[in-house]
Amino acid sequence: MDVTISQSTFERALSVAGRAVPSRATLPTLTHVLLQAEPGRLKVAGTDLNLAIITWEEALVSEPGGITVPAKPLAEFISALPDEPIHLRVHRETWTLQIVCGSYETAMKGLDPEEYPILPDLEGDGFALDPEDFRLAIDQVTFAAAADETRPILTGVLIRWEEGHGGGAGGAAALTLAAADGYRLSVKTLPVLRAPVAASEPGSTFSVIVPASTLKEVGRILKGETEPVSMMVLRGRNQVGFRLSRAAVLSQLIEGQFPDFQAIIPKRWETRVEISREALWKACKALSVFARETSNAVRLALIPGEGDQPGQVLLQSRSPEKGETRVAIDALVEGNRLEIAFNVRFLMDVLEAIEGDWVAFEMTTPQSPVKVLSVGDPSFVHVVMPMFL
């Protein structure tokens, strides 16, 4: 292998692929990154066998070939170099990577790339997704997934396809993404630019559970992406892949049955509030300081307007030591007056995930699940369980 690549490009590639490299592993090659010179580009890949991130960067390739080298020391060394062309050359007899950059020169011991796990190619037909829509969808669902490894299914995001069940704007083809951690649920419909041929047959359906952590990585790489992203399920391998213009993410799927989330979404309401997202978020932020020692509880009183009096939402947090804090916000309140309590962290999470200026809450009783919507955006539904005080 003989490659010349710019320092900043190489540094970026290493930081992207490095996110899949485990810091400790029983298999020594797993703590390495794979460098593979292909015509006109350098491929950099990392994997912990559950997640693989592959990225390609433009490079001047004089001789194809590859090597694996310890990921962390390489990334640290490269980031310390000046932004000048880096020349990489592999000595196959000793599997040594020689790195020359300006007046800097080093040699790193590596391993035969044949010993590195084989990462399947992600060529083929997939769901084409708009990168910005997809990134937003990831942000809106992954926060509701569980961090709790004892219930693995809930650490994943369900991605479901039902041919003919559009759900997207104007009934366009769409995927449904859902995540739940036991206390809350986020559901998002994501328009599909083009469905693969296999999924376009009438009645075709599938659903997979993708680790939320994988999607967060995809979301991170999607920043700045302009080309459509292709998502493909590798059925035989129980894997899912995401192909971007200069990167690919491959991940194991989580096996099991995702809870029936449709049954959890409330179908009716007794009290409905429309409120400024920003005003409510600011109030929550202020109250959270005082709610921290009392289980993060905030009480909300929802008071419908009367005559020319506008409706109001009164927020209050109470701490045995620090007393009470109150905030009142004008809002559109329909239906019955209601008092209800929430974990303020749950409220802030959903308010941060929603994009629109107005957010709606639909509730029935203080003990029942609450539906949270972004006003004017039918693609997102959130359900949160109130707290019992």
Q: Report the alpha-carbon angle 255-259-262, nearest 5.
A: 135
Applying CB under 8 A, among 15, 319, 325, 336 the residue interacting with another protein is 319
Q: Which amino acid is at 99?
A: I
DSSP symbols for 208-264? EEEEHHHHHHHHHHHTT--SPEEEEEEGGGTEEEEE-SSEEEEEEPBPS----GGGG
Our finding on whether 259 is near another protein (CB under 8 A) is yes
Min CB(314)–another protein separation in Å? 18
The answer to whether 298 touches 327, Cβ cutoff 8 Å, is: no
Our finding on whether 321 is near another protein (CB under 8 A) is yes
Our finding on whether 295 is near another protein (CB under 8 A) is yes
Our finding on whether 343 is near another protein (CB under 8 A) is yes
Our finding on whether 388 is near another protein (CB under 8 A) is yes
Region from 40-48, 167-175, 194-202, 290-298 binding another protein, contact rule CB under 8 A: 290-298
Nearer to another protein, 31 or 343 (CB): 343
Q: In angstroms, rounded to a whole number, what is the distance separating the alpha carbons of residues 356 and 350? A: 12
Nearer to another protein, 42 or 158 (CB): 158
Our finding on whether 264 is near another protein (CB under 8 A) is yes
Our finding on whether 301 is near another protein (CB under 8 A) is no
Closest alpha carbon to 192 in 241, 229, 156: 229
Residue 69 structure tokens: 């080298």
Residue 200 structure tokens: 């376009």
Our finding on whether 175 is near another protein (CB under 8 A) is no
Contacts of 272 (CB under 8 A, 6+ apart): 333, 334, 335, 360, 361, 362, 363
Applying CB under 8 A, among 83, 255, 367, 378 the residue interacting with another protein is 367
Our finding on whether 156 is near another protein (CB under 8 A) is no
Our finding on whether 359 is near another protein (CB under 8 A) is no
Phi, psi for 67 (deg, rounded to 5): -165, 160
Our finding on whether 373 is near another protein (CB under 8 A) is no
Min CB(389)–another protein separation in Å? 5
Nearer to another protein, 10 or 346 (CB): 346
Min CB(193)–another protein separation in Å? 32
CA dihedral 215, 221, 222, 225 (to 10 degrees): -160
| Separation in Å, CA 285 to CA 281, 346, 347 | 6, 12, 10
Min CB(343)–another protein separation in Å? 6
Applying CB under 8 A, among 92, 292, 326, 337 the residue interacting with another protein is 292
Applying CB under 8 A, among 50, 294, 325, 336 the residue interacting with another protein is 294
Residue 345 structure tokens: 């962290």
Give the binding site for another protein (CB under 8 A).
Answer: 147-151, 180, 182-185, 259, 264, 289, 292-297, 319-321, 341, 343, 345, 367, 369, 383, 385-389
